[in-house]
Amino acid sequence: METPAPTSCPYLLSNQKLLHLVRHAQGLHNLEAEMNRGSLTQFTDAALSPLGWQQVREQRENVSASGMLEGIEVVITSPLLRTLQTSVGVFGSEEEQDHCGNKTSTLNHPPIIATELCRERMIESEEDILWEADERETNEAVAARGIKFVNWLLGRKEREIAVVSHGVFLQETLIALKNKCLHLMDTDPFTRFGNCEIRSVIVFNESVECIPNFGLVTGM
């Protein structure tokens, strides 16, 4: 997996927020899909695969070396297991023992907050609070929820925020934003995220507020 150097930007205006968008590392459901195309076992809440944990370790080194970890004030994550594991693995505290045997944190570790707003598209489950009978969330609905989520982020006090979510949600959200944000990466912002990939964008309050109907768009 290629893990391009993350981007940080200390020169933000008062109406701007820097968002580091992260797709979760490889989950067991991703591995199953690669091994058995067309016959995917249904995972309701897959954990990370061994490769996923390796991706987390590599990205942890990247964000630490780039200085990004020191700038992030909060991590907002989907509540599913693979995103929680990615959030803690990449951005969580890293502890070591001092000469007295006490555990001490060696790096900045921002708080991690889970919200349903940035979870994967609805799953057909009676226990899923976003579930609607006989219906899965459309790309348009995912995009609308993405803009609602970004507006929620804009209302928070933090200026630099990491978001750990899912490929479809992140892609549809960026498509909905279109030219309403500044992309800080060289990669095409509208393509599918790789596992554990980080893309950084600067979002402007006024730009998102002017998107009608929470940015309903058609899928790619």
- Cite the active site residues: 24, 120
Q: Phi and psi for 187 in degrees, rounded to 5?
A: -70, 155
Rg (CA), the chain: 17
Closest CA to 169 of 204, 206, 138: 138
b/e map 6-41, b = 16+ CB within 10 Å: bbbeeeeeeebbbbbbbbbbbbbbbbbeeeeeeeee
| Separation between Cα atoms, residue 28 and residue 33, nearest integer Å | 9
Q: Are 68 and 8 in contact (CB under 8 A)?
A: yes
